[in-house]
Amino acid sequence: MTRLSVNINKVATLRNARGGNIPNVVQVAIDCEKFGAQGITVHPRPDGRHIRYEDVAALRRVVATEFNIEGNPEPSFVDLTLKVQPEQVTLVPDTHDALTSNAGWDTKKHAAFLRDITQTFKRKGIRVSIFVDALPDMVRGAAEAGADRVELYTEPYAAQYARQRETAVAPFVAAALTAAECGLGLNAGHDLNLSNLHYFRTEVSGLLEVSIGHALISDALYFGLEETIKKYVKELEI
């Protein structure tokens, strides 16, 4: 079964809008796991506009399933991740001013850098996933860099899903086959939701994990957090 990792960045965004500690991101992570999530994802950025570096350390002490830290591997992020030692680090090439992640790595252009940073994390026993577009060459480049997994950037799929879902999913089916040929595990994330998740899960083979934040937290405003997580877990069942 594909694992659901809940990205709790939006919870921290709400907290930071008012100051203080409401909602409490640590308690939300605990509750997500209690309600059925099989992982917790955070994406700390240097400006601290949602998850802060101190949140990451606090979460490491309580996450009992699988902790995934994603972000651009600049020095402060690398130091934090090596100190916290999550089960997985997901390398994302976002810039400081990016509203959200909007592209995967060019694993050919940045081959040497990705190879070096991947080995830095793997020496500490941290599984490395590289965020890529659904392009076979980019998947192969991640394998050549020594990654354990790739995370497919699924916004293009989500954007086209309502118009022509077969066309939308086709590149991801091909990328998944390439990942399997390269011996890579497969993750996916970005704009997956209750409408498009099940079809993606059934069409894309070997999917180990999805990371979902914005849509899931938004749905929780209507359904409640517990019911929402149960709905997402159900969508991942075949």
**pLDDT band (50, 70, 90) for residue 102:** low
Neighbours of 160 (CB within 10 A): 16
CATH number at residue 212: 3.20.20.70
pTM here is 0.95
As a whole number, mean pLDDT of residues 192-213 equals 98
Q: Is the pLDDT of residue 191 over 70?
A: yes
* Residue with more model confidence, 126 or 102: 126
Q: What single-letter DSSP state applies at residue 87?
A: S
Rounded to whole angstroms, what are the CA distances from 11 to 23, 24, 215? 7, 8, 12
Report how far apart the first and last C-alpha atoms of the chain are (Å, whole number).
Answer: 8
Q: Which pLDDT tens digit goes with each residue over 4-33?
A: 999 999 999 999 999 999 999 999 999 999
- The domain of 43 spans 3-235
The answer on pLDDT for 216 being more than 70 is: yes
Task: Compute the distance between CA of residue 155 and CA of residue 169 in angstroms, rounded to an integer.
Answer: 11
Give how many domains the chain has, as a whole number.
1
For residue 98, name the pLDDT band (cuts at 50, 70, 90). Answer: low
Query: Over pLDDT 70: what percentage of the chain?
Result: 97
Confidence of residue 48 (pLDDT cuts 50, 70, 90): confident
Q: Which conformational region is residue 206 in: left (phi greater than 0), alpha (psi within -120 to 50 degrees), or beta? A: left
pLDDT digits (tens, 9 = 90+) for 126-170: 999 999 999 999 999 999 999 999 999 999 999 999 999 999 999
- Give the mean pLDDT of 37-57: 94
CA distance 157 to 80: 32
Q: Is 213 helix (H, G, I), strand (E, B) or coil?
A: coil
Q: Which residues are catalytic?
A: 43, 70, 190
Distance CA 233, CA 37 (A): 8
What whole-number distance in Å separates Cα of residue 94 and Cα of residue 75?
14
